[in-house]
Amino acid sequence: MRATATLPPAALDLVGMREQVDSAIDRFLTAQAAGPVGHRMPELIGLLRGFLAGGKRIRPLLCVTGWYAAGGCGDSAPVTRIAASLELCHAFALVHDDVMDGSDTRRGRPAAHRAFVTAHAGHRTGVDARQFGVSGAILLGDLALAWSDELLHTACAHPDRLAAVLPYLHRMRTEMVYGQYLDLLATGRRSGDVAAAMTIVRYKTAGYTIERPLHIGATFAGADQKLLDAMTAYAVPLGEAFQLRDDLLGIFGRPRQTGKPTVDDLRQGKCTTLVALATRAATGDQAATLDALLGNPDLDDAGCATVRGILTATGATVEVEAMIRDRCRQALAVLDSAPFRPAATATLGDLARLATERIR
């Protein structure tokens, strides 16, 4: 037997894939800056470029991997542009999310609504700075969404293949907005309803972050339903695990690594799965303390430490870690028999580990 016969298949080149996606975004924004719109447009583009720096690009990477998994071959430029369009759509979602969540930092830099205030400090009179920043962020998010669509529709794709992708893109956007709405409704309403918290996760993250990007890439390559179903079976548990990790990092992470503060979810009173599990297990005293502290917009470091202590003491933190492990295992088990090309299967295994063991 040749030695190479037992080697696992080489995974796809994620670093190169990311570079190509970033370069597609860069070329698109450069073309927009040179376009016919007025002379203040470069300011907006500069803010958008600043915001785009530093993301993990998980959705574009999954989109290209999905394409390859489904047999995509030849020129990867069109699918790369489609993948890049997902990152612009993500920028829209995050810019607005930071307004909704009152988050001042994103990817280690000021969130867009804060960046607008700084960019225009001292140039306005009679306009509330906070309101100005929020308005600017709404516009920047709108622009990112509009350009995401433009980039997709100019992806040089064959019209039939692009048409096959659109239903999945439409679902992705609708599911994400619906999930964000459920998240909004649950904010400030602490509850022990873990199933309700997980429903939010499925809409706002599992479909949006893992399942639909894979489907979009795969349908572009002409995937059949069996292949799409296998992607769903991998993506749903992994997407849940991804958000559960995000919830833990959002409270226990290191801001220098995550690029996000660890007080926002607590000050907002987000009813994450972690909080729902703690609520179920809390003693009367612990529940009273959570009620007094969660959702307090002025919660200080000591208050945050008290909440963290309760999340740990109730066993909620350990339980969320176990849920992440279980779901990662489920996703990896799907790969054992999934009908994907071997290099894509290997890459999806790597991505599952990266997405659940991440520190940012």
Helix and strand numbers (H, E) in the chain are 17, 2
Which of Mg ion, ligand IPE, none interacts with 93 (beta carbon under 5 to 8 A by kind)?
ligand IPE
Find the angle CA(207)-CA(212)-CA(218) to the nearest 5 degrees: 150
- Residue 288 phi/psi, 5-degree rounding, is -65, -40
Contact status, residue 104 vs residue 51, Cβ threshold 8 Å: no
Nearest to 151 by CA among 14, 40, 62, 23: 23
250 contacts ligand IPE (rule: CB under 6 A): yes
208 touches which of Mg ion, ligand IPE, none (CB within 5 to 8 A by kind)? ligand IPE
- CB 67 within 8 Å of CB 218: yes
Asked if residue 97 binds Mg ion (CB under 5 A), the reply is yes
Among 32, 80, 209, 279, which residue sits at the site for ligand IPE (rule: CB under 6 A)?
209
Residues 49-68 that bind ligand IPE (CB under 6 A): 55-56, 58
CA distance 14 to 16: 5
Distance from C-alpha of 291 to C-alpha of 234, rounded to nearest angstrom: 37
Of 128-136, 155-163, 242-250, 326-334, the window that binds ligand IPE (rule: CB under 6 A) is 242-250
- The only residue of 65, 243, 273, 356 in contact with ligand IPE, by rule CB under 6 A: 243
- Provide, rounded to whole angstroms, the least separation between the CB of residue 123 and Mg ion: 29
- Beta carbon nearer to ligand IPE, 149 or 264: 264
**Structure tokens of 108?**
């280690």
Say which residue the tokens 């917009």 belong to: 297
Least distance to ligand IPE, CB of residue 161, Å: 26
Stretch of residues binding ligand IPE (CB under 6 A), selected from 29-37, 60-68, 97-105, 156-164:
97-105
Binding positions for Mg ion, 98-137, rule CB under 5 A: 101
- Tell whether residue 265 is a contact of Mg ion (CB under 5 A): no
> Given the complex with ligand IPE, which of 57 and 81 has the nearer CB atom?
57
Please work out the total of residues on this chain that contact Mg ion, with binding judged by CB under 5 A: 2
Which H/E stretch holds residue 336?
Answer: helix 316-337
Q: Which of 22, 175, 211, 246 binds ligand IPE (CB under 6 A)?
A: 246
Q: Is 223 in the site for ligand IPE (CB under 6 A)?
A: no
Alpha-carbon separation of residue 96 from 31, 100, 178, 306 (angstroms):
25, 6, 14, 29
CA–CA separation, 32 vs 58, rounded Å?
25
DSSP H helices in 156-272: 159-186, 194-201, 212-220, 225-252, 255-258, 264-268
Q: Contact with ligand IPE (CB under 6 A): which of 22, 97, 175, 211?
A: 97
In 3D space, the residue among 335, 340, 332 whose CA is nearest the CA of residue 357 turns out to be 332
Which residues contribute to the site for Mg ion (CB under 5 A)? 97, 101
State the residues that interact with ligand IPE by CB under 6 A: 55-56, 58, 90, 93-94, 97, 101, 103, 107, 176, 180, 204-205, 208-209, 243, 246, 250, 260
